[in-house]
Structure 1
Amino acid sequence: MLAETRRCGGGNGGGNCGNGGDDETEDGVEYYRLRSFSITANGVFNLGDSLKSRRSRSINSVTSSGTSCSSTRDARLLSSASQLSGIESGVENDQGESTDDGTRVATYKVGMLGASGVGKTALTAQFTTSEYICAYDASLDDEYGQKSVSVMIDGQETELEIIDHPATEMSVETFCSSYNPDVYVVVYSVVDRRSLKFAEETLVHLWKSDYMATHGVILVGNKVDLQRKREVAAMMGRRLANSCGCKFIETSSGLAHHVDELLVGILAQIKLNPQRDRNQVTRRRRSKQRRTILKHLLGFKRKTKSCENLFVL
């Protein structure tokens, strides 16, 4: 009989705990993969993966036998990461799964948007495990759809349902209205300028449909490992994110570069949604918005907040 919690090796090439976070059963007990992270001013640290039984889901701490550090971002951009714990503690969520002792694990939906071939499916696969997954494995193309990943950050567990948008089969409008994700991740490939145009059109739709006002949105430039083929400079993605008021990060699903940072940043942006709602209510209550209008006319754009800091509004 397996123990209630089993550890998997952390980092790329870690121990085997099943395929990409899929549930396993043994002796009638259902197990799932739990990914654990810690956030410090120096970056996001991958504490490794473990297997947990559904009935032990209320356990709030996991100790990994092997601790590995993922690629860390600039400490300046992550210095406010500690806010995440405070945000989580103040959020009440009706979604989630109840455990045997009544503890609820909050569940949120993540919409992965972008043109075909930009690496949405590869990123989704990397989200589900600390093990290395070759981003250029053609078999991944058949794995698009909906996947779930359980994430523990500083002792608090959350489940994310990641929905991979089939760009050739469903319009962005239909996808958004059908699934209504809690956060939108808009992906383009840095080696395909046309995919940036698709991402821009997607962001415009999210803005016009008022999704961006109440939901977290992250623009992701993927495939930075293919530097010699790059067609989209980081500055172009950053400028687009700034103009739309969303977040920005560059990743490589092939090298698992900044993938952990993106995953943790997704959760951080979800936790900030209630604050967005409160800000919206406040704005709507104002009878006059002359100052806001003037700021936009004069080109004032969130200069005090970095689009690359995924832990703030």
Structure 2
Amino acid sequence: MTLNTEREGKETLRRRASTPIPSAHQPGPRDRQLPVDPRHPPLGQSASYQAGDKSVHPRASWSSDSEESDSSGAECLYRVVLLGDHGVGKSSLASIFAGIQEKDAHKHIGEDTYERTLTVDGEETTLVVMDTWETEKQEEDEKWVQDYCMQVGNAYVIVYSITDRSSFESASELRIQLRRIRQAENIPIILVGNKSDLVRCREVAVEEGRACAVVFDCKFIETSASLHHNVHELFEGIVRQIRLRRDSKEANERRRSIYKRKESITKKARRFLDRLVAKNNKKMALKVRSKSCHDLTVL
């Protein structure tokens, strides 16, 4: 997998800065309108796209090693919202996605929405990652922004710290809120246990994260933003989860075949045996489901 941070013509990466929150003296939260600026679209929206729109628009790319390319040149854009308690690493994950180096992080203080094109399984998809869940504004504004975030995402990443059990419990509550607000929609939700490098401080076991993902019917992955461990896999997995829900079975099978060619023989054999045993054993089926909750290439 390669991470490209430059475009042709050596243009800088297009990145969206912080979206201003309406001030307290303006009308009530539900009546407020965010400013419209072609260079800075409303929170969670694109100046030229709606969710799933397609058009040719060159941007910096984050490419996975693939053997095919999208001959149509079409590109789709989706909003990914980061949820979770303060300090769990949401901004660190967003910065890695945006290609921001740690030494340059101080230059991007205040930015909370990032747009980037990923090439996954030979096709381009643009993600707008929104790190807008927390705000330093008044409590009334914060509630309004959080309600808005719950409604505009095409995919959600719920982050907790494996070193903080309370953040894990909050993540479970957020999943319940999403189910209530977006219950009729088949949207990708990924539970992320961040800071996996802090082994000695661990308060939430891997098995607990997986069990929570199975109960709440979402995907699960552990990451380490400080080591960049599984961060690329997370965002590429988001793209695959969106496609699995959006596109036809044939299109997904074609992409799946590309991915499978890279798998080891051992992993292929293990998956086949799991499916075979699970057919006639309900307990084993639940166990297999628990195993597959961290496989971001399947539903």
Same fold (TM over 0.5): yes
- Matched residue, 1:104: 74
Q: CA deviation at 1:209?
A: 2.4
Are residues 39 and 119 of structure 1, via their aligned partners in 2, closer, same or farther at CA, if it must alter by over 3 Å?
farther
Deviates more, 1:105-114 or 1:230-239: 230-239
1:148 — aligned with what? Answer: 115
8 Å contact from structure 1 (residues 33, 149) kept in 2: yes
Letter in 2 for 1:36: S
Residues 22-61 of structure 1: matches in 2 within 5 Å? 22=14, 32-38=59-65
Gaps of 5+ in 2: 16-56, 249-281
Change (3 A) 1:238 1:212: farther
TM-score (normalizing by structure 2) = 0.61
Report the equivalent of 2:52.
Answer: none
Which whole-Å CA distance do the structure 1 matches of 2:245 and 2:5 have between them? 35
1:114 touches 1:165 (CA, 8 Å); kept in 2?
A: no
Corresponding residue SS for 1:245: coil
Matches of 1:123 and 1:145 in 2, distance apart?
11
1:173: how far off? Answer: 3.1
Post-superposition offset of 1:202: 0.2
Give the SS at the match of 1:248.
strand
Deviation readout 1:145-200 (Å, 9 max, x if unpaired)? 211011112331111111113334534433212xx211111001111111111111
Structure 1 alignment gaps of length 5 or more: 1-8, 24-29, 41-59, 62-87, 90-101, 277-297
- Structure 1 pair 149/189, CA: closer, same or farther in 2 (3 Å)? same
d(CA) in 2 for partners of 1:183, 1:266: 7
Cα shift at 1:237: 1.2
Aligned position for 2:255 = none
| Change beyond 3 A, Cα 1:255–1:38 | same
Q: Which residue does 2:150 correspond to in 1? A: 176
Task: Provide the rounded CA distance (Å) in 2 between the counterparts of 1:147 and 1:272.
Answer: 23
Cα displacement (A) at 1:260:
1.0
Distance 1:253 1:21, change over 3 A: farther
Question: Counterparts of 1:248 and 1:268 in 2: how far apart (Å)?
Answer: 14
Give runs of aligned pairs for residues 243-282 of structure 1, distance below 5 A.
Answer: 243-274=215-246
Asked if 1:134 corresponds to 2:102, the answer is yes
C-alpha RMSD over aligned residues: 3.6
| Higher fraction of strand | 1
The letter of the residue matching 1:116 is H
* Among 229, 240, 245, the residue aligned to 2:201: 229
Aligned counterparts of 1:302 and 1:195: Cα–Cα separation in 2: 26
| Structure 1 position 200 matched with structure 2 position 192 | no
> How far 1:141 moved relative to its partner?
8.4
Structure 1 counterpart of 2:296? 310
Pair 1:16–1:239, CA change in 2 (3 A)? same
2:121 partner amino acid: D
TM-score by length of 1: 0.58
* Identity score, percent: 34
Mapped partners of 1:205, 1:246: distance in 2: 14
1:122 counterpart (87, 92, 98):
92
Judging changes above 3 Å, is the alpha-carbon distance between structure 1 residues 39 and 243 closer, same or farther for their aligned structure 2 residues? farther
CA distance in 2 between partners of 1:239 and 1:274 (Å): 26
Provide the rounded CA distance (Å) in 1 between the counterparts of 2:123 and 2:167. Answer: 36
**Structure 2 vs 1, CA of residues 310 and 238 (structure 1 numbering), >3 Å: closer, same or farther?**
same
User: Does the residue aligned with 1:108 lie in a helix, a strand or coil?
Assistant: strand
Q: Verify the 8 A CA contact 1:111 1:162 in the aligned structure 2.
A: yes
Measured in 2, the distance between the counterparts of 1:144 and 1:252 equals: 21
